[in-house]
Structure 1
């Protein structure tokens, strides 16, 4: 019974450590993520010699970059010809009479009196 309780505590501790590692690994750089998540959990979340593993991963990344073929850009000179604008003629002219006839004329809702004698002083 005591050994079963110890196993259960160890299993809970391991599950908690794995979930903490998953939460932390979201913010880790992708090139180091595989290196760090393949390590088993011991006294530390990512193993005891984390610094050595990170330095080894950086060195491996640098050496693999040196081995890759550098992509060269083609040296072909390209000339671009600017075509005439398709809108160079402008918009067609609108017959102003047809525009005036189609527009409704707005009339004021009230008439303004021309004689404003009630505002004048005697």
Structure 2
């Protein structure tokens, strides 16, 4: 018998010493039975399936059934008449009329999954009914059980796909597409997902140090203001572009150039308006002098 005791070292708190060849007679067997049976570690996996069965289930669990095969299996096993509840229940119209369109679509998807589980129950019930006969058709039982296993594996795959579709919109946009392409294994997005994230973050950080060269196309097409000293040749004649002056008019020497510009400006301006005095009107009437102010007399009559 072995016994585990704590390490006696003063600096050790996690180490244990296993003492072997302990004498069983040192302990009361009746009291040891009061401890109960020792619980074994739960086994996560059981016995292996037959190789062909395992290979078929494994493929469906990872990729799902194709649409043609899935529709064929669902049509092959109708609901039993004496088990009508195998069919998924219909949503009450009193509730449906008050639901938003998104809620209706979600319920429709859940109804389709529930219908598939009902067809799986129909296949299992058919196989059990065949086995209960005195002379069961074993090949037919095997085919039916295989179809039921396929439908169950596809339902398992559909739930995995639902979990992934819920999480992908929450992921950074730069990683969304690589996440969709990854196959599941023991992890929802594959075991080596951390390497993908690290590589993506490294590429993103590297891109921050890469800046495009400044474009020079706008500088090539830009034209600065022309100075008065610059002369452009057009049609073998030179001219000075000047604001407010004539455009595209061939010019001669500077003195003649100023005269023509002055004549052109004078021709473009409208003639000045003359001020004309209005004709004399009738004379204004003379004003009458105002009457003198009234003063009462102070003399007395005799």
Query: TM-score by structure 1 length?
Result: 0.51
Deviation, structure 1 residue 35: 1.5
Residues 98-119 of structure 1: per-residue CA shift (max 9 Å, x gap): xxxxxxxxxxxxxxxxxxxxxx
Taking a change above 3 Å as real, the CA distance of residues 56 and 11 of structure 1, as seen in their structure-2 partners, is same
Structure 2: 5+ residue runs without aligned partners? 1-143, 216-302
Deviation, structure 1 residue 45: 1.2
Taking a change above 3 Å as real, the CA distance of residues 18 and 69 of structure 1, as seen in their structure-2 partners, is same
Q: Distance in 2 between matches of 1:19 and 1:35?
A: 17
Taking a change above 3 Å as real, the CA distance of residues 61 and 4 of structure 1, as seen in their structure-2 partners, is same
Give 1 or 2: higher strand fraction: 2
| Residue of structure 1 in register with 2:163 after alignment | 20
Q: Distance in 1 between matches of 2:185 and 2:213?
A: 41
Give 1 or 2 for the bigger CA radius of gyration. Answer: 2
| Residue of structure 2 in register with 1:85 after alignment | none
Q: Which runs of 4+ in 1 moved over 4 A?
A: none
Mapping of 1:1-122 within 5 angstroms?
1-69=144-212
Q: Distance in 2 between matches of 1:56 and 1:45?
A: 19
Taking a change above 3 Å as real, the CA distance of residues 4 and 68 of structure 1, as seen in their structure-2 partners, is farther
The alignment partner of 1:23 has SS state of: helix
Q: Distance in 1 between matches of 2:214 and 2:146?
A: 61
Taking a change above 3 Å as real, the CA distance of residues 31 and 3 of structure 1, as seen in their structure-2 partners, is same
Structure number with the bigger relative contact order (C-alpha 8 A, sep ≥ 6) is 1
Conserved 8 A contact 1:35-1:57: no
Structure 1: 5+ residue runs without aligned partners? 73-122
The alignment partner of 2:170 has SS state of: coil
Count of residue correspondences: 72
Superposition CA RMSD, Å:
2.1
Taking a change above 3 Å as real, the CA distance of residues 55 and 71 of structure 1, as seen in their structure-2 partners, is farther
Query: TM-score by structure 2 length?
Result: 0.22
Taking a change above 3 Å as real, the CA distance of residues 10 and 69 of structure 1, as seen in their structure-2 partners, is same
